[in-house]
Amino acid sequence: MSIDSQSGSEFSPEEIAELVKQSKPKHVAIIMDGNGRWAQAQGKPRVMGHKAGVKTVRRAVSTAREMGIGSLTLFAFSSENWRRPDKEVSLLMELFFTVLQREIKLLHKNGVRLNIIGDISRFSARLQKQIAAAEAKTAGNTELILNVAANYGGRWDIMQAAQALAKKVEAGEISSSQFTEEALSQHLCMQNQAEVDLMIRTGGDYRISNFILWQAAYAELVFTDTLWPDFDENAFKSAVATFASRQRRFGLTGCQIETMQSES
């Protein structure tokens, strides 16, 4: 089994050897935090921070492509964000729709495949239609997979995968003994992509906020005080450099990892 298709917690010796030799991540996830605070610091409405954050998304996608990163996952709207003021949520939904309309041609031109992860059933029919159209237009692109987490929660992701497997058990399609980590992983969002190697959070907080809990089980975490609208190419590359400087052990000792690296 290749590492790109595996989302369980067990790696073979060959896969671990491959992972510890990585100088750059295959899959980067970013919690884009600080838009509202960025705007408030400038005496602007919070929505202006979200609009500024869209420009940063564009830069991040360009940087990821330039660096040869295979997947970039961005936390755009969590399942908990519905608790925000109604006006802000409405503005975010409208901004999401507008960005899909405006950016999809550029993404397609640059070979980026858009993949929306999360429970989109709560969105308006208009927005769901726009999501489907954007995904369909870019479905054949291979330069970069851009996963946008919208109405997403890590616990929701694991739960919906478990429910899908439970239904198969109830229907007699599989036995309970076949309810394994590997089987569960095949029902998660991003099931056919590499696991997350690097997770970045901007904005100065030190938590992962129910984001891709399963897929980031072995991710290196980088936290920065930089607010998302100010997260530029250099900040992105600095986070990747931090990733490259760390020793990933996957349960092994430091000496074992050093031996693997010396044999490469």
Which positions are annotated as active-site residues? 33, 81
Half-sphere exposure of 164 (CA within 13 A, CB side): 14
Sign, Cα dihedral of 238, 243, 244, 245: positive
Q: Are 165 and 187 in contact (CB under 8 A)?
A: yes
Sign, Cα dihedral of 200, 90, 39, 52: positive
Element (H, E) at 242: helix 233-245
Q: Which structure tokens are listed for 41?
A: 């610091």
**Burial status of residue 43 (CB atoms within 10 A of its CB: 0-12, 13-18, 19 or more):** exposed
For 79, phi and psi rounded to 5 degrees? Answer: -65, -20
* CA–CA gap between residue 144 and residue 164 (Å, rounded): 28
Q: Are 145 and 115 in contact (CB under 8 A)?
A: yes
